[in-house]
Every structure is written in structure tokens, then in C-alpha cells.
Amino acid sequence: MNSDNPAKIAWQASNRAALAARLDFARTAEDDTLFTEEWNGHFVAVTKEEGTLRLWLIDQSADDTDWVQSILRLDDPLWLPMSYTQAMLLALLWQPTPQRIFVSGLGGGGLATVLHHYLWQSHLDCVELSPPVVAAAIGCFGFAPDERMSLTTGDALIALAAAPPGSYDILFLDLFFDNGETPAHLLTEDFFRLCHSRLRADGLLTMNLGAKGSDFAQRLTPIAAHFATVYTCRGHGSTQVVFATDRPPLAPFALTQQAIAVQQEHRFAFPYITWVARLVQQRPAAESAS
């Protein structure tokens, strides 16, 4: 643990100041639409209202599919307002000191920005399918690639296929269309086999997965086909975060103690430890076999 490491404290202070400076224009802008661009039958838009930025993906052919991709609080850009993104950081229970991390989709870059700030010695490879979303993240949300955080525009499957086996300690996947569904090619056994192969030994897949409908357990089956241990954590909306690893399950007390250690190390501004109570170990392979 190095929460009191002077080098870490100095770097984070500098990074926080640089992030605030990149957001100065948004902080002083009037409440309005700050960005809009068409892409693949959608509008990508950024709005500001009462000190908050929102990134929207809006289907041009429908009236009711506007989907908030990201939210940023201008008074505290390292706060994660969307509950599932807070829950995704439970990945650090299994991988507290990851060397290399894969993040896709980017959205406004909030999760990647937080990982980059707190995991100050980790390397992040970020992938986003939509070029306008990339433009919005960089132009409005203060997302800034650097020597520790790369950015590629493209499909997550293609990006993972191009990476060498055993490249990553954690894969963070947040892959949704505006209808709240993950693309079908990113839910197959072949895809999760690829994910498993790109992780180092005892690495972790962390995925935001739609929880609508009665078939959620079936969505876990192709994940369980390639990972020995699967947990889920329900957010406050219509998604669940899935954690999949080959490590054996941890007792609830051990998970709580690890969460306390992670929070003491990083001092997240949001209520991190409380998410442990929502973790549920799943056994989808056994259920499907029965």
C-alpha cells in the first residue's frame, strides 16, 4: 500500500489540477447543448445543466431511445455519478494492483479517468467504437490520453483479438447501444473465450451487463463456460456488473476486508465499501446443467 507515497500524492495533485483546467470551458459555459454530431443513425450530444454534463446517444428514428452514456459533475470530476461505474471498481478486490487494464466503451471517459488517477502506475488501453463519442470525451469531459493511457477507435472484439495473449490484468467492458442492449457478437462463448485468453493468470473480466428480462442467468452461461468463478453486483438501474475470474470464491468477510483495504489506499470520494454487500456469487453453469 502506498496511500501516503509522496510521489503518488504529488502526481495526483498535478493530475487533478490538469483535469480541472481542461474542464474550465464547460464550467463557465451556459446551460445548453455543448456538442452534437451524427453517427450511424444516431445523434451523439453533450448537454450541461446545473453543473452536470451528460453524454447522450439518441436514435434518430425513434422517440424514446435517448440513452445517457456518461454523467460528469463539474464540481468533482473524479466522482462517479452512475452507480454501476462505482460498482465496477470492485474489480480491485481481485486485482488491487493491476499492471495493464483494458477499457471499452469509453463513453465520456469517466471510469477510465478515475482508474488513471487512482491507479497512478497502471497502464490503460481504451477502445471506443464511435468517433463522435471520442470527440465528446476529449472535447467536453476532460478525457486526456497520455503515456499511461492510450485510446483506439474501433470494436472491442477486434482490439482484443489484436492484443497478445495474457496482456491484461483486468478487462472493463461497458458495451451498450442506445436501447440498453449489448451487441450480440460481444455476448458469445467465442467472445468470452477471447477475453479469457487475453487475461493474465487469475485476471478478471468486469462487464456491465443488461439485467432486463428473465433471461439474465442465461446471459451468464457463456461467461461461466470460460471462468471458474462468477459474481454479480446489481446497480441502482437496469444493469448488473459481472466479475469473472479463475480465482476461487472469496468469503464475504474477506471481500469486505479487501474493500476496506482498497478504500484506505485510494480514498475514493464515493461510497465504495457499501457495494460489497451487493455482490452475489453466481453458478450459471450448474443451473443450466440442471
247: CATH: 3.40.50.150
Q: pTM here?
A: 0.93
Residue 14, domain member (yes or no): no
SS3 55: strand
Residue 8, domain member (yes or no): no
Residue 120, domain member (yes or no): yes
Model pLDDT for residues 130-187, shown as the tens digit of each residue: 999 999 999 999 999 999 999 999 999 999 999 999 999 999 999 865 455 677 788 8
Model pLDDT for residues 35-68, shown as the tens digit of each residue: 999 987 788 999 999 999 999 988 777 666 557 8
d(CA 199, CA 247): 12
* CA neighbor of 240 nearest in space, from 217, 263, 262, 222: 217
Which pLDDT score, from 0 to 100, does residue 15 have? 97
d(CA 272, CA 261): 11
Let me know: does 12 contact 265? Beta carbons within 8 Å: no
* CA neighbor of 123 nearest in space, from 142, 104, 140, 147: 147
d(CA 264, CA 239): 28
Let me know: does 61 contact 42? Beta carbons within 8 Å: no
CB-neighbour burial class of residue 52 (10 A; exposed 0-12, middle 13-18, buried 19+): middle
Place 289 in a pLDDT band, splitting at 50, 70 and 90: very low
Place 236 in a pLDDT band, splitting at 50, 70 and 90: confident
The sheet carrying 123-128 orders its strands as 149-153, 123-128, 100-104, 168-173, 199-210, 239-245, 229-234, 279-282
Residue 209, domain member (yes or no): yes
Residue 57, domain member (yes or no): no
Residue 7, domain member (yes or no): no
Residue of 79 and 235 predicted with greater confidence: 79
Domain boundaries, position 269: 80-289
Q: How many other C-beta atoms are found inside a 10 Å radius of the C-beta of residue 225? A: 14
Average pLDDT, the chain: 91
Q: How many other C-beta atoms are found inside a 10 Å radius of the C-beta of residue 114? A: 22
Q: Number of folded domains in the chain? A: 1
Place 69 in a pLDDT band, splitting at 50, 70 and 90: confident
Residue 3, domain member (yes or no): no
**How many helices and strands, by DSSP H and E, does the chain display?**
10, 12
Which pLDDT score, from 0 to 100, does residue 111 have? 97
Distances in whole angstroms, Cα of residue 112 to Cα of each of 58, 115, 132, 205, 246 = 23, 5, 17, 15, 24
Residue 193, domain member (yes or no): yes
Mean pLDDT value of segment 25-34:
96
d(CA 249, CA 36): 45
